[in-house]
């Protein structure tokens, strides 16, 4: 099916929801980003004395009862609670109702890198300490990575395709991109798409420490995540969720939906190089950015803002900068490039979804959020938006996500023009 | 142990496990049909009741449509046999 013969269905974003370490809804999250507020603190809910990294960006003061009945939140992992809460906000914002006619056309795609970390740890400890009888009847469902998608589908009666794509740190962007295809291909008219993770358990922190991936700046949490700064020493594990309501554009217009932005491009690739390290020239990252631009039928010079993957690891930030320079040429010296992970930490599967939501706010407000703690930039010719937000007219925004196992995913959003 | 004491314990368990309103818990209420406690939630209720009352309850005792009263009787039966 070529584009000349079948103009493809356009996909718009009509709602968004965020649960993050710096805000428990999209508005609070955006306000924190513009204020340059860090969500990174010392971990206090489990023993960290033997762990090289003792800091993280965790969701604070979250009350699941506000979003779902007790019998639902008791049976699911925090990562799924966050996803469901973000979906509730997104659906309310979209002012959409899932009636019987629409239900079979509504999909759910919630990506996650590590999924229900807490429940998985509890099962292992419970079996060891109390035996099989201690394992609850919902564990089998709740300990799987697709559980967030399943609970969201139950909540809203969404009866189209559903599931969880898992591409490590790129999962949220992959979910949004694959969900966009469902709508473009005519499989769905609406998809609740996003990502969620709560990978801040002893086992998550211990294993990421062993991978030499995490910052060890335990004595200075708010300055620990410093993407593109030469003193960076690793990423910060974080929790959260982001969910978007993606909707076929004509349908959204017909019902007078609040259209936040258009989702115009998606590109994915794989480094096929190393389990944790990125390809030295960022070949996979470049390929994904180019694929997303081609998909959007947009030239790199038209991009007004790049929400970088920007993890604060030595390798990612150097190679991502090189890759952006390769793809954007001279435009790389003009386009603002920032990493909101400097404030949120790395929400793994939620990162791409939450960052797409940051990008759509940048389009809406004409302001791009800063990279905090970028005192001594990796590349002195690039505008990493250090310390404070900057005003820029943003028509087109690119959101990058590059994961372990070499998974790369890039999404492009554009201001809505009917 | 009296019926009232067991009922009080089960009411607390149902509130904890299933979020059931204590005012709804009566002997003639069916778990599935009246209290929206399905067979999987029942597993949790039974395990919690076993811990609370120090008994072992056979799942065969509790059929579809079992009432709160059935579970109270089952617990009393085991306690009486001790």
Contacts of A133 in chain B (CB under 8 A): 47
User: Within a 10 A sphere around the Cβ of A73, how many other Cβ atoms?
Assistant: 21
Give the burial string for A259-291 (b: 16+ CB within 10 Å, else e): bbbbbbbbbbbbbeeeeeebbeebbbbbbbbbb
Q: What is the mean pLDDT of residues A328-341?
A: 98
Cβ <8 Å between B44 and A137? yes
Q: Report CA-CA distances (Å) from A316 to A12, A60, A321.
A: 30, 28, 8
pLDDT of residue B57: 87
Interface contact flag, A71 B44, Cβ < 8 Å? no
In a mutational test of the B interface, the residue from A73, A136, A142 whose CB has the highest number of chain B CBs within 10 Å is A136
Express each pLDDT in A27-64 by its tens digit: 999 999 999 999 999 999 999 999 999 999 999 999 99
What is the chain B residue with the closest CA to A139?
A: B40
Structure tokens at A218: 């335990």
CA distances B11 to A47, A288, B46, B69, Å, are 35, 56, 12, 12
Task: Check pLDDT > 80 for residue A85.
Answer: yes
Q: Chain B interface, mutation test: which of A65, A70, A71, A135, most B Cβ atoms within 10 Å?
A: A71
Per-residue pLDDT band at B63 (split at 50, 70, 90): confident
Residue A106 has φ and ψ, to the nearest 5°, of -105, 120
State whether B44 and A70 contact (CB < 8 Å).
Answer: no
- Using CB atoms, which residue from B17, B40, B47 is nearest to A133? B47
pLDDT (average), residues A94-118: 97
Q: What is the CATH number of the domain that holds B53?
A: 1.10.1200.10
How do residues B5-43 score in pLDDT, each as one tens digit? 999 999 999 999 999 999 999 999 999 999 999 888 898
Select which of A346, A361, A374, A407 is catalytic. A346
Look at chain A and count its residues: 418
The maximal CA–CA distance of chain A, rounded, in angstroms, is 63
Residue A4, pLDDT above cutoff 60: no
Whether B43 and A136 lie within 8 Å, measured CB to CB: yes
> Can you say whether the dihedral through the CA atoms of A303, A306, A307, A308 is positive or negative?
positive
Instruction: Tell me if domain A11-254 and domain A266-414 are identical in fold.
Output: yes
Per-range mean pLDDT, top range of A77-91, B22-36, B60-74: A77-91
- State yes or no: is A223 an active-site residue: no
Is A346 an active-site residue? yes
Cα separation, A172 vs A330, in Å, equals 29
Q: Is any Cβ of chain A less than 8 angstroms from the Cβ of B1?
A: no
Bridge-based pairing of strands A239-248 and A190-198 is antiparallel
Residues of A in contact with B44 (CB under 8 A): 136-137
Query: How far apart (Å, rounded) are the C-alpha atoms in residues A170 and A408?
Result: 6
* Closest residue, chain A, to B35 (C-alpha): A71
Per this entry, what is the length of chain B?
82
Task: Select from A349, A342, A323, A335 the least CA-distant residue to A403.
Answer: A349
Model pLDDT for residues A236-275, shown as the tens digit of each residue: 999 999 999 999 999 999 999 999 999 999 999 999 999 9
Give the pLDDT of residue A260: 98
| Span A207-242, pLDDT tens digits | 999 999 999 999 999 999 999 999 999 999 999 999
**Per-domain residue ranges of chain A:** 11-254, 266-414
CATH (residue range A266-414) = 3.40.47.10
| Cα–Cα dist A349/A21, whole Å | 14
Q: Are A42 and A216 in contact (CB under 8 A)?
A: no
Reply yes or no on whether the pLDDT at A299 is more than 50: yes
Residue burial A306-328, b: 16+ Cβ < 10 Å; e: rest = bbbbbbbbebbbbbbbbbbbbbb
Mean pLDDT of B48-75: 87
- Residue A2 is predicted with a pLDDT of 47
Which of A69, A133, A137 comes nearest B40 by C-beta?
A137
- Indicate the angle between helix axes A351-365 and A171-184, nearest 10 degrees: 70
A133 touching chain B per CB within 8 A: yes
**Cβ pair B42, B62 in contact under 8 A:** yes
Inter-chain CB pairs, A–B, below 8 Å: 17
Domain total of chain B: 1
Q: How far is B60 from chain A (nearest CA, A)?
A: 17
Residue A218, C-beta contacts closer than 8 angstroms, at least 6 positions apart: A42, A53, A54, A55, A224
Domain interval for residue B8: 3-81
Measured between beta carbons, which residues in chain B are less than 8 angstroms from residue A69? 19
Distance (Å) of CA A146 to CA A111, A117, A332 = 8, 13, 38
The catalytically annotated residue of A309, A361, A374, A407 is A309
CA nearest to A238, candidates A261, A215, A255, A219: A215
- CB atoms near residue B71 (< 10 Å): 23
Chain B residues touching residue A71 (CB < 8 angstroms): 17-19, 41
Averaged pLDDT score across all residues of chain A: 96
Q: Name the strand (E) or helix (H) holding A264.
A: strand A261-270
Q: Find the CB nearest A71 among B19, B43, B47.
A: B19
The token pair that represents A258 in the structure block = 């609040």
Q: What is the pLDDT of residue A5?
A: 59
A131 touches chain B (CB under 8 A): no
CB A308 within 8 A of CB A338: yes
B-proximal residues of A, 67-86, CB under 8 Å: 69-71, 74
Closest residue on chain B to A134 (Cα): B47
Q: Within a 10 A sphere around the Cβ of A241, how many other Cβ atoms?
A: 34
Q: Cβ–Cβ of A138/B19 closer than 8 Å?
A: no
pLDDT for position A21: 98
Given A169, A188, A225, A374, the catalytic residue: A169
Cβ–Cβ under 8 Å, residues A341 and A310: yes
Backbone angles phi, psi at A69, to 5 degrees: -65, 155
Question: Is A43 in contact with A56 (CB distance < 8 Å)?
Answer: yes
CB proximity A329 to B under 8 Å:
no
Residue from the list B18, B43, B47 with its beta carbon closest to the beta carbon of A71 = B18
- Selected from 3.40.47.10, 3.40.50.620, 3.60.15.10, 3.30.540.10, the CATH number assigned to the domain covering A11-254 reads 3.40.47.10
C-alpha to C-alpha distance for B82 and B67, rounded to whole angstroms: 23
Q: Do A414 and A262 touch, CB atoms closer than 8 A?
A: yes
User: Are A346 and A363 spatial neighbours (Cβ–Cβ below 8 Å)?
Assistant: no
Nearest residue in chain B measured CA to CA from A68: B19
For the cut 50, the answer to whether the pLDDT of residue A1 exceeds it is: no
Q: Are B25 and B10 in contact (CB under 8 A)?
A: yes
Residue B59 pLDDT grade (very low, low, confident, very high; cuts 50, 70, 90): confident
CB environment A184-216: b (16+ within 10 A), e (fewer): beeebbbbbbbbbbbbbbeebbbebbeeebbbe
Task: Tell me whether B77 touches chain A (CB under 8 Å).
Answer: no
Q: What residue ranges in A150-234 does DSSP mark as E strands?
A: 162-163, 190-198
Backbone angles phi, psi at A156, to 5 degrees: -105, 0
Query: Sorting pLDDT into bands at 50, 70 and 90, what band is A69?
Result: very high
Q: Is A392 known to be catalytic?
A: no
């Amino acid at each position: 099916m070529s584009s000349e013969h079948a103009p493809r269905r356009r996909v718009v974003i009509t709602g968004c929801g965020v649960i993050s370490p710096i805000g428990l809804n999209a508005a609070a999250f955006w306000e924190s980003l513009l204020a340059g507020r860090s969500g990174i603190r010392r971990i206090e809910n489990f023993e960290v004395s033997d762990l090289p990294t003792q800091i993280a960006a965790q969701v604070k003061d979250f009350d699941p009862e506000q979003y779902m009945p007790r019998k639902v939140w008791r049976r699911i992992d925090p990562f799924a609670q966050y996803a469901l809460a973000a979906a509730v906000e997104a659906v309310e914002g979209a002012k959409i109702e899932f009636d019987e006619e629409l239900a079979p056309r509504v999909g759910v795609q919630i990506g996650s890198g590590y999924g229900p970390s807490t429940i998985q740890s509890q099962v292992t400890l419970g079996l060891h300490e109390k035996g099989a009888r201690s394992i609850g009847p919902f564990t089998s469902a709740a300990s799987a990575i697709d559980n967030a998608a399943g609970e969201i589908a139950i909540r809203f009666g969404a009866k189209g395709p559903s599931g969880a794509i898992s591409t490590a740190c790129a999962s949220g962007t992959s979910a949004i991109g694959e969900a966009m295809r469902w709508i473009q291909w005519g499989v769905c008219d609406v998809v609740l798409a996003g990502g969620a993770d709560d990978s801040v358990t002893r086992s998550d922190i211990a294993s990421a420490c062993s991978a030499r991936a995490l910052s060890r700046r335990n004595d200075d949490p708010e300055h620990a995540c410093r993407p593109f700064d030469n003193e960076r020493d690793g990423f910060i594990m974080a929790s959260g969720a982001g969910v978007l309501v993606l909707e076929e554009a004509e349908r959204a217009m017909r019902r007078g939906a609040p259209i936040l932005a258009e989702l115009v491009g998606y590109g994915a690739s794989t480094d096929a190089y190393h389990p944790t390290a990125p390809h030295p020239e960022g070949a996979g990252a470049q390929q994904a950015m180019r694929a997303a631009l081609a998909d959007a039928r947009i030239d790199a010079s038209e991009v007004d803002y790049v929400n970088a993957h920007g993890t604060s690891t030595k390798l990612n930030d150097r190679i991502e900068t090189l890759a952006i320079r390769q793809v954007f040429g001279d435009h790389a010296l003009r386009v603002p490039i920032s990493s909101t992970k400097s404030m949120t930490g790395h929400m793994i599967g939620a990162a791409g979804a939450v960052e797409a939501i940051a990008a759509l706010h940048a389009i809406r407000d004409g302001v791009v959020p800063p990279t905090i703690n970028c005192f001594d930039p990796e590349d002195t010719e690039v505008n990493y938006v250090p310390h404070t937000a900057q005003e820029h007219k943003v028509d087109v925004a690119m959101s990058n996500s590059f994961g372990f196992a070499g998974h790369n995913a890039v999404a492009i959003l554009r201001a809505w023009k009917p | 142990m009296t019926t009232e004491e067991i009922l009080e314990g089960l009411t607390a368990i149902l509130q904890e496990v299933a979020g059931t309103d204590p005012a709804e818990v009566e002997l003639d209420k069916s778990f599935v049909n009246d209290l929206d406690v399905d067979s999987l939630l029942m597993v949790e209720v039974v395990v919690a009741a076993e811990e609370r009352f120090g008994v072992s309850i056979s799942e065969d005792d509790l059929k579809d449509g079992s009432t709160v009263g059935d579970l109270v009787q089952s617990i009393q039966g085991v306690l009486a046999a001790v």
